[in-house]
């Protein structure tokens, strides 16, 4: 897609140069340190961390803490979740539904199946409802036209039906097996 | 290639309560197919809770008749018309749409095979299932019939109410009957009207005009009467 030409702001701004969208939001903000289960440290602005309901309540319970340990979260999905939340903060400051939709769509499109699947428990644990919705929809879209075998493999599920049981279920909704993508 | 990616995922399963949220966003056709994925997916997908939640998230449908074909179309904001949901059962030689509720449609069809008598059919186009209802009592002899379809949240049951006047004149009593999907049979209440209507005189002169005038307001069936 043409993401490099028409949306440079979305990709470059997020990563390094901490974005200071020129006007009203340009106040110096407090940083919060998050520590992943594999001991990586993430410094994020307070406003971003407060998007994580879990982190927010952690701070409300123990305000003096300087580092929040996230024992259930590894570095890679955490960094992706932070990237998402940074953008959402901008949309909160300057609401633009069309841009937000576009960003959310691009965010999931460029992720691998594994990235999506890894982020879902993280978004759930950190209680980031918007992201969880976006991820669930993205996974739903990816499996929609797939075969039963593909979906088992996608979620790491073993078939525990007998051949007869499975055949009976397939007969019951034979039309639902038509027009399915090749694996 | 894609399969490799999927297998790599295997190490990090998504917990079941999160799988539910994903499947709630997946279309019905896919979900029916995914009942085959595993026993636990099959039980999850057939849970009454799941079915209700999925229904609550469903897009509205428009039912159109192009006699002798009934077809189902998605609302214009979704992509195109879905002609694949045309009636796929033994087609009566004439039929009417009587009512619909939660995506379930009540049809009344006349079959040559049954001496041209009417059969009532419940049709769920989304899962392409049909159910022929048994004939209610005094099916043929009555002149006026009022029919509807409703969902009763108290008993989690779909019901087909039917009001018949057992004869031609205003002196003949009304009988209230209803078919329960859960029990698969009809029940009947002869005194229903005399017990539930305040103005019994008005009842005598009620004329039931037509059967397809049901309106659902807040889950309650309303009918239009002429008197």
CATH classification of the domain holding A98: 3.30.710.10
Q: For residue B21, what are the domain limits?
A: 2-56
A165: nearest CA partner in chain B: B36
Closest CB to B14 among A140, A155, A176: A155
DSSP string, A26-84: -----EEEEEETT--EEEEEHHHHTTSHHHHHHHHH-TT-SEEEETT--HHHHHHHHHH
Does residue B68 lie within any of the structural domains? no
pLDDT exceeds cutoff 60 at A92: yes
β-bridge mates for residue B97, sequence order = B107
C-beta atoms of A144 and B30 within 8 A: yes
How many folded domains does chain A comprise? Answer: 1
Set of chain A residues whose Cβ sits within 8 Å of the Cβ of B35: 169, 173
CB contact under 8 A, A153 and B19: no
Contact between residue B94 and residue B107 where contact means Cβ atoms under 8 Å apart: no
Residues B215, B138 share a domain: yes
In a domain, A161, yes or no: no
Rg (CA), chain A: 20
Stated length of chain B? 227
Q: In angstroms, how far is CA B74 from the centroid of its own chain?
A: 17
Q: Are B149 and B98 in contact (CB under 8 A)?
A: yes
Asked if residue B61 is part of any domain, the answer here is no
Residue B12 lies in a domain: yes
Asked, for residue A76, whether it belongs to a domain, the answer is yes
Q: What is the mean pLDDT of chain A?
A: 84
Same structural domain, B95 and B52:
no
Hey, what are A92's tokens?
């909160």
Measured in angstroms, the CA of B190 and the nearest CA of chain A are apart by 40
Selection from A56-70, A115-129, B145-159 with the highest mean pLDDT? A115-129
Of the three residues B13, B37, B56, the one that is the final residue of a domain is: B56
User: What local confidence, expressed as pLDDT, does residue A12 receive?
Assistant: 38
Q: Domain of A104?
A: 7-15+28-144
Instruction: Measure CB to CB from residue B34 to each of A136, A148, A153 and give the nearest one.
Output: A148
**For chain B, what is the HEC assignment?**
CHHHHHHHHCCCCCCHHHHHHHHCCCCHHHHHHHCCCCHHHHHHHHCHHHHHHHHHCCCCEEEEEECCEEEEEECCCCCCCCHHHCCCCCCCCEEEEEEEECCEEEEEEECCCCCCCEEEEEEECCCCEEEECCCCCCCCCCCCEEECCEEECCCCEEEEEEEEECCCCCCCCEEEEEEECCCCEEEEECCHHHHHCCCHHHHHCCECCCCCCCEEECCEEECCCEC
Instruction: Check CB contact of B2 with chain A, cutoff 8 Å.
Output: yes
The structure's pTM equals 0.77
Q: A155–B34: do the CB atoms touch at under 8 Å?
A: no
Question: B97 touching A, CB under 8 A?
Answer: no
Residue ranges of chain B whose pLDDT lies below 50: 1-12, 74-84
pLDDT band at A3 (very low <50, low <70, confident <90, very high): very low
Is B77 within a domain? no
Q: Is residue B75 part of a domain?
A: no
Chain B nearest C-alpha distance from A51 (Å): 20
A163 touches chain B (CB under 8 A): no
Same domain, B50 and B127: no
- Identify whether B7 is part of a domain: yes
pLDDT for B128 equals 81
Question: Angle, to 10 degrees, between the axis of helix A113-125 and the axis of helix B16-23?
Answer: 110
Confidence of residue A171 (pLDDT cuts 50, 70, 90): very high
Q: How close does chain B come to A155, measured CA to CA in Å?
A: 6
Does a structural domain hold residue A154? no
Q: What is the pLDDT of residue A63?
A: 78
Return the H-helix or E-strand segment holding A120: helix A113-125
Residues of A in contact with B24 (CB under 8 A): 136
CB contact under 8 A, B8 and A157: no
Residue B67 lies in a domain: no
Q: Do B127 and A173 touch (CB under 8 A)?
A: yes
Q: Are residues B212 and B134 in the same domain?
A: yes
Please indicate if any CB of chain A lies within 8 Å of the CB of B38. Answer: yes
User: Closest partner residue to A176 among B6, B22, B29, by Cβ?
Assistant: B29
* Structural domains of chain B, count: 2
Q: What is the ipTM of this complex?
A: 0.79
Statement to judge: residues B121 and B15 lie in one domain: no
Contact by Cβ (8 Å): A161, B17: no
**Counting every residue, how long is chain A?**
183
Q: Out of A5-9, A48-52, B148-152, B222-226, which region has the weakest mean confidence (pLDDT)?
A: A5-9
In a domain, A124, yes or no: yes
pLDDT, position A128: 94
Sort out which chain B residues have CB atoms less than 8 A from A146's CB and list them: 30
CA A164 – CA B141 distance, rounded (Å): 47
Residues A113, B11: C-beta atoms closer than 8 Å:
no
Residue A23 lies in a domain: no
Nearest to B12 among A118, A145, A159 (CB): A118
Q: What is the mean pLDDT of residues A58-64?
A: 82
Interface check A95 vs B, CB under 8 A: no
Q: Which of B10, B21, B41 sits opposite A156 (nearest CB)?
A: B10
Q: How many Å lie between the alpha carbon of A110 and the closest alpha carbon of chain B? A: 14
Closest partner CB to B33 (pick from A124, A155, A176): A176
What number is the average pLDDT over the span A121-138?
Answer: 95
């Amino acid at each position: 897609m043409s993401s490099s030409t028409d949306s440079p702001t979305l990709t470059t701004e997020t990563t390094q140069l901490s974005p200071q969208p020129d006007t009203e939001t340009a106040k110096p903000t407090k940083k919060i340190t998050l520590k992943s289960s594999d001991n990586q440290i993430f410094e994020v602005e307070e406003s971003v961390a407060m998007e994580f309901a879990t982190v927010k309540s952690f701070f409300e319970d123990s305000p003096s803490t300087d580092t929040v340990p996230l024992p259930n979260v590894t570095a890679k999905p955490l960094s992706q979740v932070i990237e998402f939340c940074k953008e959402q903060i901008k949309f909160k400051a300057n609401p633009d539904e069309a841009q937000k939709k576009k960003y959310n769509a691009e965010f999931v499109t460029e992720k691998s199946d594994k990235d999506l699947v890894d982020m879902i428990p993280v978004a759930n644990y950190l209680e980031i409802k918007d992201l969880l919705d976006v991820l669930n929809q993205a996974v739903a879209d990816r499996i929609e036209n797939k075969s039963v075998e593909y979906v088992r493999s996608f979620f790491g599920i073993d078939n525990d039906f007998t051949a007869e049981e499975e055949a009976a279920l397939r007969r019951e909704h034979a039309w639902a097996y038509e027009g399915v993508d090749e694996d | 290639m894609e399969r490799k990616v999927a297998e790599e995922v295997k190490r990090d399963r998504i917990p079941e309560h999160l799988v539910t949220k994903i499947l709630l966003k997946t279309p019905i056709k896919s979900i029916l197919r995914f009942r085959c994925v595993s026993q636990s997916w099959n039980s999850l997908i057939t849970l009454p809770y799941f079915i209700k939640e999925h229904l609550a998230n469903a897009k509205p449908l428009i039912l159109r008749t192009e006699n002798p074909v009934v077809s189902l179309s998605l609302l214009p904001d979704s992509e195109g018309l879905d002609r694949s949901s045309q009636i796929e059962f033994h087609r009566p030689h004439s039929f009417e749409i009587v009512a619909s509720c939660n995506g379930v449609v009540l049809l009344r069809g006349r079959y040559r095979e049954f001496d041209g008598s009417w059969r009532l059919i419940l049709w769920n186009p989304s899962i392409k299932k049909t159910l022929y209802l048994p004939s209610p009592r005094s099916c043929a002899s009555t002149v006026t019939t009022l029919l509807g379809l409703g969902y009763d949240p108290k008993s989690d049951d779909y019901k087909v109410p039917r009001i018949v006047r057992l004869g031609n004149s205003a002196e003949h009593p009304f009988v209230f009957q209803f078919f329960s999907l859960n029990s698969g049979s009809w029940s009947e209440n002869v005194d229903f009207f005399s017990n539930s209507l305040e103005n019994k005189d008005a009842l005598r002169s009620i004329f039931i005009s037509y059967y397809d005038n049901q309106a659902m307001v807040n889950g309650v069936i309303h009918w239009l009467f002429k008197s």
